[in-house]
Amino acid sequence: MRAYHRLPFSRIWSAIFLLPLIISFHSSSASAKGGIRKPAVAGYFYPKEEETLQKMVDTFITEVTQRKVTGNILGIVSPHAGYVFSGPVAAHSYREIKGQHYETVLIIGPSHHVYLKGASVGKWDAYATPLGEVNVNKEIVDALLSIGEPFRFVEQAHIREHSVETQIPFLQRVLKDFDIVPIVMGIPSLTDCERISKALVKIVGKRNVLFVASSDMSHFPDYLDANKVDGKTLSLIEKFDPELVFNSEAELVGKGIPNLSTTLCGLSSVVTVMMTAKELGCNAAKILHYANSGDVTIDGYQNKKRVVGYGAVAFYQR
């Protein structure tokens, strides 16, 4: 974490609260050249130097000393904020799968910048990070796009999107010989989540795959309210009932908690991965870790007035 403090405090803080401005300004660096999706948030959400990034991710993972899941993990939830805030939480999910073998990782994240109906499947050759390139599984991508609605490829939904990108350096440090399927989702109905999940189940078949739901938690209550709201959401996720989790968003936001705008910034991602993991044989969910941005001290300061929550979860077969 200390390595990331080389960046100015204002730049670190903007990685959590000024996402649209940062990514809009730097969107050209993430354009597709030769079918390679270039990084959009390197140097902001995480270090742009290969050695520094590798050391940071490895340190986060090493600090998670024990695994909590005994069973076959098919899905995880991991946050997608600046690593100085959410990296230690994400490490709890990635520590569980370190050294495992997955042929393909399907990363499902919310769209922060482009309005979408359904899901945009990234039709790239590869995604690049400072740690190198990861190939995209074109067979699965083409199969999903051949279905038509709710799947399509919207290039702009991927070029500026950090929710998929921030997961890849962690994957690069814990897995070998894998490719990815990048999927960016809009704000669909429960029925849309079910349609997307059923298509994913059918197309992945018996492949050895992992599903990553990229999602932060509550935005932007104070520290105590965030702990209460996120604790409730995590307890519902642990019940492994996707419909219950989906419906809880409106219920919790409707309680009038000051500044609370969402319970899961990636609600559709989490619900879709839950549905898919259950259909593929998972029968349990394990909460691995929780923290929020108010737990992080930068330059001697903690902001506990407006925070963002982060949770790590595994979906597995006992």
Summarised one tens digit per residue, pLDDT across range 200-212 is: 999 999 899 999 9
pLDDT higher than threshold 50 for residue 68: yes
Q: How far apart are CA 215 and CA 309, in angstroms?
A: 10
pLDDT higher than threshold 80 for residue 11: no
Residues 85-103: pLDDT tens digits? 999 999 999 999 999 999 9
> What integer pLDDT is reported at residue 274 of this predicted model?
98
Q: What is the mean pLDDT of residues 185-196?
A: 91
pLDDT higher than threshold 70 for residue 3: no
> What integer pLDDT is reported at residue 30 of this predicted model?
57
Helix (H) / strand (E) containing 93? helix 83-97
> What integer pLDDT is reported at residue 2 of this predicted model?
33
The domain total for the chain is 1
Q: 271 versus 29: which is more confidently predicted?
A: 271
Q: What is the mean pLDDT of residues 222-237?
A: 98
Write down the pTM of the prediction: 0.91
Q: How far apart are CA 16 and CA 278, in angstroms?
A: 32
DSSP per residue over 146-199, as a string? HH-TTEE--HHHHHT-HHHHTTHHHHHHH--S-EEEEEEE----HHHHHHHHHH
| pLDDT-derived band at 126, boundaries 50, 70, 90 | very high
Residues 137-186: pLDDT tens digits? 999 999 999 999 999 999 999 999 999 999 999 999 999 999 999 999 99
3-7, 46-50, 56-60, 140-144: which range is least confident on average? 3-7
Note the residue count of the chain: 318
Q: Which residue segment(s) compose the domain that 143 sits in?
A: 2-317
If you count DSSP H runs as helices and E runs as strands, how many of each does the chain have, helices first?
12, 12
Mutual orientation of helices 190-204 and 267-279 as an angle, nearest 10°? 50
pLDDT higher than threshold 60 for residue 25: no
CATH code where residue 176 lies: 3.40.830.10
